[in-house]
Structure 1
């Protein structure tokens, strides 16, 4: 029981650290699709936020978003089609 709690605390700390890093990357270069994809993947892994919302922010900032569309379709097939519908 204690080990499970410790593992959950460590996982939460790692996710928080990764969020900070990805946030700094996207702020430094908002037009880099890979950063938005990384952010969406992290949120999907963490189960905290719908990844489609992260990708939607990327679409608002990136004019050439073919890479984001591809990532969004992959995300929808991996998780569920609800993410695709929310983005549209």
Structure 2
């Protein structure tokens, strides 16, 4: 495949939270994503968008709970519509 590929998660959980951690995509033995466990303490290079307009609740952010490994995860408490977290590679 040539060109950029986008991996996207639409997150909505009324009225609670989703947690995302350890996101891995390999091409052979090469890890294609960056900040896969959100251990930098911020979302970058993940991009948060609201494809369905403004949502209620808490937007996607990095949290120090709900993690699978390390000390951080992405958490999203969006309700009423979905937040999108995506990364191009």
For normalisation by structure 2, the TM-score amounts to: 0.29
Give the number of the structure whose alpha-carbon radius of gyration is greater.
Answer: 1
- Of Structure 1 and Structure 2, which has the larger fraction of its residues in helix? 1
- Of Structure 1 and Structure 2, which has the larger fraction of its residues in strand? 2
For normalisation by structure 1, the TM-score amounts to: 0.29
Q: Which has the higher contact order (CA 8 A, sep 6+)?
A: 2
